[in-house]
Structure 1
């Protein structure tokens, strides 16, 4: 009887000891995980710095009706606080605003080069939203994407400035009409079966048709 009691007590002590070790291991793992999440949060908080390059006054005038761009930049300017969850919600909001950038483009900026830059910007923002929502957040990649978004936004704004400056260059009277006539003529030549081969046209006639054509003596 005494042996059975001793065996039972030893078994009980062993079970309690194992549970104690498991609890300590779990506590240590939780503490390690919490420390890792804290470091990730601090790194993202430090690197979450969106820069919006100032738009010149002329370009700003051109985007007054482009509310989607204004709302997107406003969303970027509002930095989250306190928790990683706040940054995740902010990334989702930024992604939503970025997806709307293709809407209501002003005529001046409704150009392939602008749409191309917007497409790249949207891709970067969506990647940021994806990475920050992973269970094991790659903080370095998130910070890298913030920098890439800044770069794409600056490139977009520079392209907008270029188009604005070009739009201010005065066009001489009749220049647009002349360009259209030349373009229409150039398009008509390959499709006109009645147009003789330039090689059989006398040099003097070619000079009249195209004064810039090289002369063969």
Structure 2
């Protein structure tokens, strides 16, 4: 009976010891995971610095009606705080705003070179949103994408500035009128006329009689 009690007591002590060891291991893993998440958060927080250089005054005037661009830039300026979850919510909001950039583009900027820059920007922002929502967040990749988005924003704004400056170049005197004359002349020539075929005005044909005597 005595040995049986000692055996049972030993099993209880072993069970308690195993549970204590498992708890300590679990706590150590949780502490390690928390430390890792803290490092990831701090890296993202430090690298989350979006391009906020204002475009020139002339371009600013031209984009007053482009509310989608203004809303996107405003979303970028609002930096999240405290938790990685806040950055995930911000990334989702930025991704939603960037998808609307192709809507209501001002006529001045509705050009292939601007549309292509917008498409690249959309791709970069959506990648950022995808990576930051992974279970194991690649913080270095997230920070890298922030830098790439900044580069695309700078390129887009520079392209817009170029188009704005070109629009201010005055047309040389008579150039616009000459273009219209050339266009009207091209439209007036029938497609059936061969290059070497002469075109006789109707008023001239009306007074020519084929039976008239020809002067040799």
TM-score class, shorter = 0.7 to 0.9
Instruction: Name the CA distance, whole Å, in 2 between partners of 1:184 and 1:83.
Output: 66
1:48-197 matches, within 5 Å, as 48-179=48-179, 192=191, 194-196=193-195
Task: Count the aligned residue pairs.
Answer: 196
The equivalent of 1:201 in structure 2 is none
Gaps of 5+ in 1: 198-217
Query: Per-residue deviation at 1:180?
Result: 5.7
User: What is the TM-score when the length of structure 1 is the normalising length?
Assistant: 0.83
How big is the alpha-carbon RMSD for the aligned residues of Structure 1 and Structure 2?
2.2
- Residue 36 of structure 1 is matched in structure 2 by 36
Bigger-Rg structure (1/2): 2
TM-score by length of 2: 0.84
Structure-1 separation of matches of 2:42 and 2:5 = 55
Aligned to 2:22: 22
Q: Which aligned segments of 4 or more residues in structure 1 are displaced greater than 4 angstroms?
A: 180-189, 191-194
Per the TM alignment, residue 184 of structure 1 is displaced from its structure 2 partner at its CA by 8.3
Contact 1:52 1:153 in 2 (8 A): no
Q: CA deviation at 1:10?
A: 1.0
SS at match of 1:79: coil
Q: Which runs of 5+ in 2 are unaligned?
A: 197-216
Shift of the alpha carbon at 1:7?
Answer: 1.2
Counterpart position of 1:200? none
Q: Note if 1:3 corresponds to 2:10.
A: no
Name the SS for the 1:75 alignment partner. Answer: helix
Aligned-partner SS, 1:102: coil
Separation (CA, whole Å) in 1 of partners of 2:60 and 2:72 = 15
Structure-2 separation of matches of 1:186 and 1:154: 42
69-78 or 165-174, which deviates more: 165-174
- Write the deviation string for residues 106-136 of structure 1: whole angstroms up to 9, x where unpaired: 1101111111101110111111111111110
Hey, what's the Cα distance between the residues in 2 that align with 1:89 and 1:184?
Answer: 57
